[in-house]
Amino acid sequence: MSAAADDFALAPTGAIGRAADRLVSVPALDTVIAPEQLPAAALAKTLLTSLALPTGGVVTWLNHYTALQSLQAGTPIEEFDYLGLDGILLCRLVRSGAERTSADLVLPLLLEAAAPLRVALIGSTPGTLAQVAARIEAEYGHNVVLVRDGYTGLPAPEELRRQLLAARAQVAIVGLGAPLQDRYALALRSPRMLVATCGGWLDQFAGGTYYPAWAYPLKLNWLVRLAREPRRLWRRYSVDAVRALRARRRLTDYVVHRGHVPLAATTSGTAASSADAPAA
């Protein structure tokens, strides 16, 4: 096992960490973690501590497009516990120093590292949710205790929170698109539960391997998505990219200044994990 994988396997320290250890087993990963996955591995480790917190934890990710959407909608980004930057363009625009992470990198690592959890899936279609639930149960050994699609099966946030508590869910994965998923995620906050937004990850995960192996190290995930879904995404990587460039100052204020606390919480373990990685 690599030094990076060993670092991820270490249990959290302190009182929170000891409580998390009683709820969540964090075994050594069998696979070597690639350098581009180190920030995601560090964040997955951090998020697991939410399962022991009386306030739980809520995490979301922003790229240049969703940042514009959330800014326009007035999403209170400062109310999240963790904020990740999912997109090279946004990282460069706001110059926060944070490395890119994303739900599609973090969630599989979190599911792989945790002991059997009670998982809820919210968003997408009933058929997609059935496929995702089957994969999570078969590949990771977790128990999917609640599924709600993002259409006619979606309750109001207050009712959905009641259902999650009744199902004793420990992890709620919310893929409703920004800014709706962020509004739901904040409203679903519950003790000892991690609520994670995921954008289009449910659809990607249901279909098997979405990104080829070369996409992450070459940072060409956006190109793969554009090639796979040109009709839906061409505007995001052209018109909306120009909009983000023009709104750079406002986005920086929104992400880096208003989002300072959740952004810092997300990146706090990244530097240590990168420093512990073996030299190439």
Look at residue 1 in the predicted model and tell me its pLDDT: 35
Distance in Å from the first CA to the final CA of the chain: 15
Question: To the nearest 5 percent, what fractions of the chain are helix, strand and coil?
Answer: 55, 10, 35
In this structure, is residue 165 part of a structural domain? yes
Please give the radius of gyration of the chain, using alpha carbons only, rounded to the nearest integer. Answer: 18
CA distance 123 to 112: 22
In this structure, is residue 206 part of a structural domain? no
- 195 three-class SS: strand
pLDDT in tens, 77-123: 999 999 999 988 999 999 998 889 999 999 999 999 888 999 999 99
Expressed as residue numbers, the domain containing 196 is 3-201+216-270
In 57-109 the beta strands, taken as DSSP E runs, fall at 57-62, 82-85
CA distance 173 to 201: 9
pLDDT > 70? residue 32: no
Q: What's the structural domain count of the chain?
A: 1
DSSP state of 136: I
Q: In whole numbers, what is the pLDDT of the chain averaged over residues?
A: 85
pLDDT in tens, 172-218: 999 999 999 999 999 999 999 999 999 999 999 998 777 787 887 77
The letter for the amino acid at 105 is L
**Would the CA dihedral through 272, 275, 278, 280 be positive or negative?**
positive
Nearest to 89 by CA among 231, 202, 206, 242: 242
In this structure, is residue 275 part of a structural domain? no
CA distance 188 to 181: 10
The CB density around residue 227, as the number of other CB atoms within 10 Å, is: 10
Q: Determine contact, residues 104/201, Cβ cutoff 8 Å.
A: yes
In this structure, is residue 32 part of a structural domain? yes
Rounded to an integer, the average pLDDT of 26-51 is 77
Q: Determine contact, residues 188/172, Cβ cutoff 8 Å.
A: yes
Q: Determine contact, residues 16/49, Cβ cutoff 8 Å.
A: yes
Measured in whole angstroms, the distance separating CA 156 from the mean position of its chain's CA atoms is: 22
CA 151 → CA 7, 175, 176, distances in Å? 41, 12, 9
* More confident site: 30 or 95: 95
pTM confidence score: 0.83
In this structure, is residue 276 part of a structural domain? no
CA distance 148 to 208: 21
pLDDT in tens, 220-253: 888 888 898 898 889 998 999 999 999 999 999 9
* Angle at which helices 103-113 and 38-48 cross, to 10°: 60
The letter for the amino acid at 75 is T
